[in-house]
Each structure stands twice: as C-alpha cells, then as structure tokens.
A and B are shown apart, each in its own frame.
Chain A
C-alpha cells in the first residue's frame, strides 16, 4: 500500500487546527500540527511534509511570512507546495503593516473559513504536479 502523503498545518488557533486536521484526515492525508512558527519550522525539518499550510496572521503580523521564508530557504521546504491562509483584510488595523519587500512565494492563498471540498481539491491538484 502506498504510504499516506504528509501535510503540515501551522496556525496559532488550536480549534482551527483541530477542525482542519479532521478534514485533511478524511481526505486521506497524514497530518502534523504546529501552533507557532518556530515549532512549525522544526516540525517541517523532522517530518519532511509533502505540503504545508501556514496561517498568515499568527502572534504577529509577519510571523506567517517569516515561516514561509524560512521554509523556502530550508532543504525540505524548498520544493514542496505551500498554502497560505488569511482571515484578515488589509483595510483593518493591520493596514499599517508593510509586507516584506521580497514576498516569499506561496503556491496558493486561501481565505478562512475554507470549504472542505475546495481545500481537498486544491491540495490534490498541488500534490499532483
């Protein structure tokens, strides 16, 4: 039997992690969770996921971007598809936030809440490539 593909989910909202984990498991993936950027990067190193999903707005505005940058420069994260999640719009109190000059590249941005079938469809497509 082919082993399950591994997905790493990084978000500081525990409930959101739980909810999304169950959807991904239903989709047949093995899911790893991290509640902050630092442990997310460490987990990525130890489990070598096939895809990672990162929340943009964690403890601080830029943490999501930092995680993506770090993953992109690491051996494991260089190749894999990355999905960024967002729930904020830039009109709000975060309008003063200046995104880093060189935005790290993600493969896709999804807006929370995410429909289960859409999430699985996008992941399936990204992993096929």
Chain B
C-alpha cells in the first residue's frame, strides 16, 4: 500500500471556521482528502470512522480539551499522526501534547505552505514508523522461530533423499546383490536417525518457545500407556522382547499433553529395546499416592554404569557399551526430561549393570471433586 497516495485522509479539529476553511483549501489543493469539524466530540467520532492518516487538533477549544482528544486518539489509533494547532502563547502545552503522543505542532498563524509541509512530514513519518514496526515484528518472529525454520529447511532435503532411496529399492531392488541392498538399508536408517534428530530438535524448541503448555488437558494415564504399548508392540516383537504392563484402573487423572507424553513413553520404551537382549522383558507399572501419580518402565537390559547415570539426560550423551554403538537422535531423553518438567513432573532413573534399568516418571495428580 502506498502511504503517500494522493488520497491520504486529513482530519482537522478546530473551533475557528476560518482555520478549517483555510486548511481545507490548502490541503485539497495538494490532493488530500480533507475532513473538518469544529466540535471536539465529533472529531473523535470522525477519526474512529474514517481512520485518517493525519489529524490536526486545536488545543484550545471551548468546552473540550484538545489534550484529551490527543490522548484518546493516540491510544485508539496507533498509526495516526497527530499534530497540534496552537497559539504562540501555548507552546508549553504543545510540548505537553507531544509527550502524550502528538508528533508535531503547528503554531498559529500559519501559511498554506506551512500546513502542507507539516502534513507531508507527518505522512513520511507515518510510513517510516509503519515500515519499522513491520520489520521489527518480522525480526522478532524470525528470532523466535529460528530453530523451527532451520529444522524445516533440513527436513525437506532429508525427505527427498529418503524418497530417492525408496525409489532405488523399487527400480533396482531385484538386480542388487544382498550386500549392496544392505548398504542402501543402512543409508536409509542413518537418514531416519538424522530425521529423528531434526524432529526432536523441533520438539525441544517448541517447549522452549512455550507454545507447548497451552495444550494441556485432563488425561487418563492408562489410556495413554495402552496406546503407547500398541505403538511400540511391533518393535518389541521384532526384537523378541516381552512388553508387559500392570496398570491400576483407579488412577487419578493428570493435566498434560497426550501427544508429547506418548513421545516420552515411546522414547523410553524405544531405549529399552535397544539395550535389552532378545528374550528380555520390558514392564510398565503405575502407582499413586496423595500427591503424585507414578509410571515406571523397567527393562532387563545391560544397565547403565552408576558413574554414567547423571549424564544420560544431557543432549547427545551416549552410554558406550561393548556391543555396537546404539544409535538414536541423542535428544530423546533430553526431550523427555523437558516434557516432564513442562508437566511439573520429574523423571528419575535407577540402574544396575547386567540387571536392567528402571525409569520412574512422577506427575502431580489432578484433584477432582
């Protein structure tokens, strides 16, 4: 939109009809659309209705304070440029008006050239201010969403590479030897890991942005755990692990975000599948007391050495075992901890090497009448 368009609307509020006439003639000559009134209240109504770019306000009018009009309009219409018309004697009050949001003042008497110059300057000021506001808002938006933007830019090529790999399997799958096929499969898995990393990174940035807490609602934990088990069941089956649960059916509800809690459980169960040898057991239990609801997830896996336990929630920390290094995004537990904090809860871990690991998640219970 061109702010200098000839049809810029100028409102003039002054009790002297001769001033109104003079201003109208001077400004209409320059192509502005001019609205005038000699009554303060009427001026406020006209300003609200017509949203003029510039308004001239006489400070001294009978029965009405120009200062109040300035005050009101500057709050009401943030983009309006207010200019005070004032006698020489009242420069002090003109300064006062400028403190209240007026942009400039025009001392009486003035020539047509003077009012045109002040109007032009006011319109330029307005354009600059609008542009500056827009840039500031854009900058803030970019800063706030930087990680999100970067992640999306990263996700897009990853998706395309995955699609190419998928295509490669389809068009050349039969003619490839098993070893070549294995290499392609490994590429696919590594890209999937990278994509998980991007997803988790996005998740973390969302928590830090605070967009997360708005989605909380009363939740039934058993439902969520059952859904998580359904989701993770096939993976456990493939790894020959027994995923079992002992869920109390009289659990109090909690306030939470279902989707992110399911991600937390998937993360922890997923970790358990990585570190538990075939034939092992992953068991889920629930409990509650007067203050908290507890969810425990235990495995019969290799366990985590005591001296490593304090670090497992750090980003990109990995416990190196004897077996081939287990790969994940490196952010799964960091994310889980943040999510638990966002639920005013806690995640704790105990482990014994060679016997297994137990994660305990504590949620404040919801008190319902």
Task: Say whether, besides A92-B152, A92-B202, A112 and B159 are in contact (CB < 8 Å).
Answer: yes
Let me know if B163 and A16 touch, CB within 8 A. Answer: yes
Give the residue name and chain of the A residue nearest to B158 (CB).
Answer: A113
Q: Is A108 an interface residue (CB 8 A)?
A: no
Q: Is A20 an interface residue (CB 8 A)?
A: yes
Task: List B residues at the A interface (Cβ < 8 Å).
Answer: 145, 148-149, 151-152, 155-156, 159-160, 162-164, 166-167, 169-171, 202, 206, 211
Q: How far is the CB of B263 from chain A (nearest CB, A)?
A: 12
Let me know if B167 and A20 touch, CB within 8 A. Answer: yes
Let me know if B160 and A19 touch, CB within 8 A. Answer: yes
Let me know if B159 and A87 touch, CB within 8 A. Answer: yes
Q: How far is the CB of A86 from chain B (nearest CB, A)?
A: 10
Residues of A within 8 Å of B211, CB to CB, are: 91, 95
Let me know if B167 and A93 touch, CB within 8 A. Answer: no
Let me know if A113 and B170 touch, CB within 8 A. Answer: no
Let me know if B148 and A113 touch, CB within 8 A. Answer: no
- Complex partner residue of A115 from B145, B148, B166, B171, CB under 8 angstroms: B166
A88 to B199, CA, bound (A): 11
Q: Is A75 an interface residue (CB 8 A)?
A: no
Q: How far is the CB of B259 from chain A (nearest CB, A)?
A: 10
A19 to B164, CA, bound (A): 5
Residue picked from B145, B152, B170, B202, most chain A C-beta under 10 Å:
B170
Given contacts A15-B163, A95-B211, A113-B162, 13 further A-B contacts (CB under 8 A): A13-B156, A15-B164, A19-B164, A19-B166, A19-B167, A20-B163, A22-B170, A87-B155, A91-B202, A91-B206, A112-B159, A114-B166, A115-B166
26 examples of A-B residue contacts, CB within 8 angstroms: A13-B156, A15-B160, A15-B164, A16-B163, A18-B164, A19-B167, A22-B167, A23-B166, A23-B167, A23-B171, A26-B171, A87-B156, A91-B206, A92-B145, A92-B148, A93-B148, A93-B149, A112-B163, A113-B162, A113-B163, A113-B166, A114-B166, A115-B166, A116-B166, A116-B169, A116-B170
Residues of B within 8 Å of A18, CB to CB, are: 164
Residues of A within 8 Å of B167, CB to CB, are: 19-20, 22-23, 116
Residues of A within 8 Å of B145, CB to CB, are: 92-93
Residue picked from B155, B159, B163, most chain A C-beta under 10 Å:
B163
Residues of B within 8 Å of A20, CB to CB, are: 163, 167
A15 to B164, CA, bound (A): 8
Let me know if B160 and A16 touch, CB within 8 A. Answer: yes
A26 to B145, CA, bound (A): 40
Interface residues on A, range: 20 to 34
Let me know if B170 and A23 touch, CB within 8 A. Answer: yes
Give the residue name and chain of the B residue nearest to A16 (CB).
Answer: B160
Residues of A within 8 Å of B149, CB to CB, are: 93
A114 to B160, CA, bound (A): 10
A112 to B165, CA, bound (A): 13
Top 7 A-B pairs ranked by shortest CB distance?
A113-B162, A19-B163, A116-B170, A19-B167, A113-B163, A112-B159, A19-B164
Residues of A94-109 contacting chain B, CB below 8 A: 95
Residues of B within 8 Å of A87, CB to CB, are: 155-156, 159
A108 to B189, CA, bound (A): 27
Residues of A within 8 Å of B202, CB to CB, are: 91-92
Let me know if A16 and B159 touch, CB within 8 A. Answer: yes
Q: How far is the CB of B226 from chain A (nearest CB, A)?
A: 24
Residues of B within 8 Å of A26, CB to CB, are: 170-171
Q: How far is the CB of A53 from chain B (nearest CB, A)?
A: 12
Residues of A within 8 Å of B162, CB to CB, are: 113
Q: How far is the CB of B305 from chain A (nearest CB, A)?
A: 37
Let me know if A13 and B166 touch, CB within 8 A. Answer: no
A87 to B162, CA, bound (A): 12
Residues of A within 8 Å of B152, CB to CB, are: 88, 92-93
A66 to B354, CA, bound (A): 59
Residues of A1-48 contacting chain B, CB below 8 A: 13, 15-16, 18-20, 22-23, 26
Q: How far is the CB of B75 from chain A (nearest CB, A)?
A: 27
A26 to B175, CA, bound (A): 14
